[in-house]
Amino acid sequence: MDEIFGIPAPLLFGQLLLGLINGAFYALLSLGLAVIFGMLNVINFTHGAQFMLGAFVAWALLSFLGLGYWWALLLAPLIVGAFGVLLERTMISRLYKLDHLYGLLLTFGVGLIVEGLVRNEFGSSGLPYRIPAELQGSWDLGFMFMPIYRGWVVVVAIVACLATWLVIEKTKIGSYLRAATENPALVQAFGINVPLMMTLTYGAGVALAAFAGVLAAPIYSVNPQMGANLIIIVFAVVVIGGMGSILGSVVTGFGLGIIEGLTKVFWPEASATVIFVVMAIVLLTRPAGLFGRA
Amino acid sequence: MAAPGGFGGTDFKHEDEVVLGFTKSQLLAFGVMVAFFVVAPFFLYPVFLMKVLCFALFACAFNLLIGYVGLLSFGHAAYFGMGGYLAGHAAKVWGFTPEIAILIGGAVGGLLGLVFGWIAIRRQGIYFAMITLALAQMVYFFCLQAPFTGGEDGIQAIPRGSLFGAIPLGNDMAMYWTTAGVFLIGFLLIHRIVHSPFGMVLKSIRENEPRATSLGYRTDDYKLMAFVLSATLAGVAGGTKSIVFGIATLTDVFWTMSGEVVLMSLVGGLGTIFGPVVGAAVIITMQNYLAEFGAWVTVIQGAIFVLCVLAFRRGIVGEIGNWLRVRL
Amino acid sequence: MTTAHVTTGPGRRTLIGGAAALTAGAFSALPLTGARAQAANTIRIGVLSDMSGPYRDATGPGSVVCTQLAAQEFAGRGFNVEVIQADHQNRPDVGSTIARQWYDQGVDAIVDVPTSSVAFAVNTIARERNKVFLNSGAASSDLTGPQCSPNTVHWTYDTYMLAKGTGDAIVRTGGQSWFFITADYAFGHALQRDVSRFVEAAGGRVVGAARYPFPQTTDFSSFVVQAQASRAQVLGFANASLDTVNSIKAAREFGLHRSMRFAALLMGLVDVHALGLAEAEGLLLTESFYWDLNDRTRRLSTRVRPLNQNRPPAMVQAGCYGATLHYLKAVADMGVAAAKADGRAAVARMKAMPTDDDAFGAGSIRADGRKLHPVYLFQVKGPRESSGTWDYYRVAATTSAEDAWRPLAEGGCPLVRT
């Protein structure tokens, strides 16, 4: 078993692994998007900008306050999440009763503003952010060198996905949340503050994006465009998984990461398009996505 | 997808249709629009106005789907861009006269629309939008790889040629009147479609598709027909743009272009006849004249979208119409 | 019916008023209308650049600053110079509308224009309107090849010179086998093709390439691992800007710097800044300008920095300075009226005169519009060598103006044969 389809087997394994790592980012980002859509019915197009903000806050914490990666991992989601809460309270909450399109356009506009402001302040070419000392270096897996940091990303992403899933599916708060999306009036009648829950949910979804941003900061250049390039792919992941399905977005995120990884070996030019091919096929055969309820 | 919020709730006065299906106030607005486009080139830069006209036609074509059938296409860049590429190729390499090139652009848009529409109309709402996006991204990939499109450099130096082989369009004013003519034909055609019995069926599909089906209409056929018409006109708009500017590039097939046309229609007013025209004018004006503010372009654009969604949800024309209680 | 008229009345006025307001707004935003009286004695230069996209830091506002500086330094020769600016948003349609409008309304020369699709569009329009186009930001060597124009000067750099500068130097110092990570678009292909030619001519060979989708790729680890598996000695990055930074980051992360040499084929000062010296250390790259090259470049930098957020000029920005200065010299030499009337004649005069400026020193412009000046291979300093921000390069090799650029006969420029 030296070669598979003309590609040396070790290389192929390596690529599968890398696909999985990319998938971790897709999963984490689409998770936030799915939570927000599932609970609030809002298509959050600012997600890319919020991901980017997470990375910039990490950079700012280091440069201005001397707070390193571990602090950023904790603080950046809180700071950007607070921004999300503000956004939800002042703007998004006015749109719940309207068509999805308006939420999408509003968040798209906010994304443009955020990206523009960051670009004016910090330029477009990006800022350096280094891998923390504890996670530098790589493991020799025999068939390739695996940077420790990438392994860390996968582990953290899986933990975050599991935790989110557990909170929503297995806790009391999660059950209120699910109930509130089905019938907000009834849940409100039970004495639960539904608007507050919506706000916090949005904040949590945004915090997830910022968390992914901090994870991405050491391996991708911290620049204003870093989210814009990802958002459309992540959006596709959510649709394929089934809008609002948490399990769906996580599984699809990892799955598409692997499919994309394989495409990068066999036909690299098409690796950005393959996701859309998958999306078209899935939607034609399973209208509500892989895990969605029609 | 439900009818875009904000419509139907307004208590419009009933106005009789006077000419060509226009009501009195629409006729007035139409007169203002035509007068504007007749007078404007003497005050404003004609090339800029031609760009407005091309995008206005594109936005009107898009609006035919979202405003009157309730289908949100997120892949209209494919028809616009492919129409542009083929018209450019026809004029530059095959040496066709501009009107033939533009028609070829429209035909390509229509053909592509027939195939994509046939696939996409099986789905509704956000899933319809996503399928159209997915298909459009494949077109983008094709354009990036196909040799005749010139990669990201695009097709450059497309000749304007002579209209009907007789009237040279190198002169900006001659080109302007031609573009205005194309736009006006397209605009009136859309208006005619919307006010025909066919258009009535489309609107009934938007309001209540199962009901339309139960009345014996083959709604899928109607939707496909509307889709093809919309794609054809988008192709015409793209072809005209290629001839006017002498370039056809990847920008026109990228998904951001699909997003832009949604924004134009929304800013102007979804489901209004004049909305897309005003919306296109506003967005193109922003692109051109905000360009001198350098880095602030995106920030200002973003702020305008936020403002529109929060305060002027019906769009500019929709708000004016609502205020005057007339349909525009 | 009467009430209907009462209600539509204000509407009509509002509509017309709105149109008038729009028109007025459009006029006021136009810097060119009006003030025709003194127009005859004013040279207008428009800087058309990327102010809001990925190339903003390497071009954009810094290009405007450098163009203005050239205009100021040339003040008082009997004519006025006015510099205006616009953001082409990397969109050919936006860029070509602005370019047409500028040329039609009295702009004599357009400067900079990064992104080759926009540059080609402006190239065509300048020729059509018989104006001047001074390109600094675009890389495509086609601007002085098949697409060359008597109205265009390509000042700063191009793909051929980048390929030769870096490719040649690395093969000669023992980098025999190459693997490329290439952005899948015309610029990436051209760069890879040109470098491959030099590598093969010098006895090296290309063992493979991975073409990745542009601009939608954020993660380069897969391509980096493919490069590693190829066992090539040199990894060439045929891409630009953020992609270069990201792909080099990934390559270091996967430890490729231990077994391969990196050749960044288009990388500039701002990219090194973005990458950080710790990761950029030792990289070889080709540029035609660096602020700390000699006394003259340092003096220029001292003048630019206060106007440019305390950043020294980057290569393309310095090119805007040099090109504008030389254009103004030609204008002074031939007279404002003649220069304004005939862009082709102005460019011909620029070609006839030797060039000399603080950024590029002495040089000349060839018949095909190619500006000739020496080209440098730089090596990026390590964090310990660097004395602070922007002290990033050490000169590794210098190629003379005669040898650095594509020979005139090879370009296929139609102007050359006549």
The percentage of chain A sitting over the pLDDT mark of 70, rounded to a whole number, equals 97
Q: Which two tokens stand for residue B241?
A: 């743009």
Q: Which two tokens stand for residue C38?
A: 């003194």
Of A124, A268, A270, the CB nearest to C56: A124
Q: Which of B107, B113, B52, B141 is nearest to B239 (CA)?
A: B107
In order, the DSSP letters of C152-167 are: EEE-S--HHHHHIIII
Which of C231, C237, C249 should one mutate to test binding to chain A, selecting the residue with the greatest count of A CBs within 10 A? C249
Quickly tell me which residue has 């799955």 as its tokens.
A255
For residues C357 and B213, the model is more confident at C357
Of B4, B138, B296, the CB nearest to A116: B296
Q: Chain C: nearest CA to A144, how far in angstroms? A: 8
**Secondary structure letter of residue A131 according to DSSP:** P
Q: Which of A267, A266, A262 is nearest to A22 (CA)?
A: A262
Q: Which of C202, C135, C143, C192 is nearest to C406 (CA)?
A: C143
Contact by Cβ (8 Å): A80, A209? yes
The percentage of chain A sitting over the pLDDT mark of 90, rounded to a whole number, equals 39
Averaged pLDDT score across all residues of chain A: 88
How far is it, in rounded angstroms, from Cα A263 to Cα B10? 52
Q: Is C255 on the interface with A (CB under 8 A)?
A: yes
Q: Spell out the residues 6+ positions from residue A229 whose beta carbon is closer than 8 angstroms to its own.
A: A48, C215, C216, C217, C218
Q: How far is CA A252 from CA A34, A249, B9, C54, C222, in A?
A: 12, 5, 40, 30, 19
Query: The domain A3-285 is classified under which CATH number: 1.10.3470, 2.60.40, 1.10.10, 3.10.50?
Result: 1.10.3470
Q: Which of B282, B254, B219 is nearest to B59 (CA)?
A: B282
Q: Is A287 on the interface with C (CB under 8 A)?
A: no
Q: What angle do CA A120, A121, A123 make, to 5 degrees?
A: 65
Q: Which two tokens stand for residue B41?
A: 């080139």
Contact by Cβ (8 Å): C133, C120? no
Q: What top-level class would CATH report for the domain B17-324? A: mainly alpha
Contact by Cβ (8 Å): C212, A268? yes
Nearest CA in chain A to B140: A273
Q: Chain B: nearest CA to A272, how far in angstroms? A: 9
Q: Is C310 on the interface with A (CB under 8 A)?
A: no
How far is it, in rounded angstroms, from Cα B38 to Cα B51? 15
Q: How confident is the model at residue C229 (pLDDT cuts 50, 70, 90)?
A: confident
The pLDDT, as a whole number, for residue A200 is 92
How far is it, in rounded angstroms, from Cα B117 to Cα B112? 8
Predicted TM-score (pTM) of the model is: 0.85
Chain A, chain C: beta-carbon pairs less than 8 Å apart? 125
Q: How far is CA B118 from CA B68, B125, B129, B261, C301, in A?
A: 18, 16, 14, 22, 61
Which of C242, C243, C308 should one mutate to test binding to chain A, selecting the residue with the greatest count of A CBs within 10 A? C242
Is there a contact between A109 and B1 if contact means CB atoms under 8 Å apart?
no
The pLDDT, as a whole number, for residue C251 is 92
Is the link from the previous residue into A224 a cis peptide, with omega within 30 of 0?
A: no
Q: How confident is the model at residue C16 (pLDDT cuts 50, 70, 90)?
A: very low
Quote ipTM for the complex.
0.85
- H/E stretch holding B302: helix B297-311
The predicted-structure confidence for A168-191, as pLDDT tens digits, reads as follows 888 988 888 888 878 888 888 888
How far is it, in rounded angstroms, from Cα A45 to Cα C84? 35
Mean pLDDT of the A6-24 span: 82
**C160-287+375-403: which CATH topology?**
Rossmann fold (3.40.50)
Q: Which two tokens stand for residue B321?
A: 């119409």
Considering only the C-alpha atoms of chain B, give the largest distance between any 2 of them, rounded to a whole number of Å.
56
Q: Chain C: nearest CA to A129, how far in angstroms? A: 8
Is there a contact between B309 and A112 if contact means CB atoms under 8 Å apart?
no
The predicted-structure confidence for C383-400, as pLDDT tens digits, reads as follows 999 998 899 999 999 999
Quickly tell me which residue has 């924004």 as its tokens.
B263
- Is the predicted pLDDT of residue C318 greater than 80, yes or no? yes
- Counting beta carbons within 10 angstroms of the beta carbon of residue C389, is it exposed (0 to 12), middle (13 to 18) or buried (19 or more)? exposed
Same fold? C39-157+294-373, C160-287+375-403: yes
The percentage of chain C sitting over the pLDDT mark of 90, rounded to a whole number, equals 59
Domain ranges within chain C, ordered by starting residue = 39-157+294-373, 160-287+375-403
Q: How many CB atoms lie within 10 A of CB C209?
A: 21
Q: Which two tokens stand for residue C145?
A: 């090849």
Residues 242-281 of A with CB under 8 A from C: 261, 264-265, 268-273
Is there a contact between B48 and C101 if contact means CB atoms under 8 Å apart?
yes
How far is it, in rounded angstroms, from Cα C302 to Cα C312? 8
Q: What angle do CA B296, B297, B299 make, to 5 degrees?
A: 65
**Secondary structure letter of residue C257 according to DSSP:** G
Instruction: Show pLDDT as tens, one digit a residue, over chain B (328 residues).
Output: 333 433 333 445 566 666 667 788 888 889 999 999 999 888 888 889 999 999 999 999 999 998 888 888 989 999 999 999 999 999 988 988 899 999 999 999 999 999 999 989 888 877 888 889 889 988 988 888 888 887 777 888 888 888 887 788 888 888 999 999 999 999 999 988 888 888 888 888 888 888 888 888 888 888 999 999 999 999 999 999 999 998 898 888 888 888 889 889 888 988 888 999 999 999 888 888 777 776 677 888 888 889 888 888 888 888 888 888 887 7
Q: What is the CATH code of the structural domain delimited by C39-157+294-373?
A: 3.40.50.2300
For residues B289 and C257, the model is more confident at C257
Q: Is B255 on the interface with A (CB under 8 A)?
A: yes
Which of B141, B324, B326, B327 should one mutate to test binding to chain C, selecting the residue with the greatest count of C CBs within 10 A? B324
Which of B306, B307, B312 should one mutate to test binding to chain A, selecting the residue with the greatest count of A CBs within 10 A? B306
Q: What b/e string do you get for B96-107 counting C-beta neighbours within 10 Å, with b at 16 or more?
A: bbbbbbbbbbbb
Nearest CA in chain C to B285: C26
Of C26, C64, C93, the CB nearest to B44: C26
How far is it, in rounded angstroms, from Cα B51 to Cα B258? 16
Is there a contact between B153 and C116 if contact means CB atoms under 8 Å apart?
yes
For residues C369 and B72, the model is more confident at C369
Q: Chain B: nearest CA to C123, how far in angstroms? A: 9
Q: Is A42 on the interface with B (CB under 8 A)?
A: no
Chains that touch B (3 or more CB pairs under 8 A): A, C
Which of A121, A283, A286, A293 should one mutate to test binding to chain B, selecting the residue with the greatest count of B CBs within 10 A? A283
The pLDDT, as a whole number, for residue A287 is 80
The pLDDT, as a whole number, for residue B266 is 86
Q: Spell out the residues 6+ positions from residue A222 whose beta carbon is closer than 8 angstroms to its own.
A: A55, A56, A58, A59, A126, A127, A128, A129
Q: Is A230 on the interface with C (CB under 8 A)?
A: yes
Is there a contact between C56 and A233 if contact means CB atoms under 8 Å apart?
no
The residue type of C183 is A
Q: Chain A: nearest CA to C75, how far in angstroms? A: 30
In order, the DSSP letters of A264-277 are: HHH-GGGTTTHHHH
